[in-house]
Amino acid sequence: MNFWKDNRFLVTGGAGFLGSHLVENMKRRGAKHITVPLVDKMDLRVTENCRKVVKDHDVVIHLAAVVGGIGANRANPGRFYYDNMVMGLHLMEEARLAGVKKFVALGTICAYPKFTPIPFKEENLWNGYPEETNAPYGLAKKMLLVQAQAYRQQYSFNAIFLLPVNLYGPRDNFDPESSHVIPAMVRKMVEAKQQRKKEVVLWGDGSPTREFLYVDDAAEGICLATERYNKPDPVNLGSGMEISIKDLATTVAEHVGFSGKIVWDTTKPNGQPRRCLDVSRAQEEFGFKARMNFDEGLKNTVDWYLSTLK
């Protein structure tokens, strides 16, 4: 059997940032039958809708999520918890009942404890409470792992759980109300340059570190895991790099061409102190290793955003 040609795939969130890149990758691999439910037509918080979309599919890849940066998480902890929790809960249950052969659940780096030793190893996932500003979102997504392992144990349901680090790349969300750190910085600095502002103000003190994974690399990792990985243990998807927010801001400014001053608003939260993943399990289990050079990926991201302004 040809895995990609012969299976029928459901990709929730397939029209989004990561999802659109994933669907393109799947098609290059020969996938012929891909269903992408659109959020305005199929609300996956409703059980009946989950029942409808999983019908007649062999593999479900669950990317759909309500997400945002620190500000969005602080403003919507209840919504981010409920929406993400209930989507995953119903979708996996309905997939099991419908006889789906494999369920691929996407978690989040926010699921890790606030003070996880560097690099983050999958076995440290339960050794503390997540960083407070995004804990409701992180915990809601982490429940997918609990559900996947419980269903595997009781029902022999083949569900796997992947933990991607912060993503970036073309087609990212640049909305200032809900974007993550890289697109938020890019937009802020592009606008500051256009308006000839002498400074930009960024949240925190710049000391936290983050790891970033280019969206095409993330799509590749998900495809490899979907085809090759069938175990209960969670798997990190990352690049293994680490950069401080302060250095990131300097790098973004260089790519954008913003030469003004960067001011840090220390009344705003930093978020988790450090993030950097141990990515060895993904390479050992299904041969995934990130390829994109960060500087090149950042240039591609900036170039794409500038192209949307023309």
Residues annotated as part of the active site: 137
Q: How far apart are CA 90 and CA 98, in angstroms?
A: 12
Measured CA to CA, the distance from residue 134 to residue 169 in angstroms comes to 22
**Residue 94 to residues 59, 83, 97, 251: CA-CA distances in angstroms?**
12, 17, 5, 45
For residues 211 and 202, give the distance between their C-alpha atoms in angstroms, rounded to a whole number: 18
- Contact call for residues 264 and 202 (beta carbons, < 8 A): yes
Cα distance between residue 152 and residue 143, in whole Å: 14
How far is it, in rounded angstroms, from Cα 255 to Cα 257? 6
- What DSSP line would sit under 248-291, residue for residue? HHHHHHHHHT--SEEEEETTS---SS---B--HHHHHHH-----
Give the SS3 label for residue 141.
Answer: helix
CA-based angle 134:138:61, to the nearest 5? 135
Which residues, in sequence order, are CB contacts of 247 under 8 Å at separation 6+? none
User: Among positive and negative, which fits the CA dihedral 127, 132, 138, 139?
Assistant: positive
Buried-state track 155-174, b at ≥16 Cβ within 10 A, e below 16: eebbbbbbbbbbbbbbbbbb
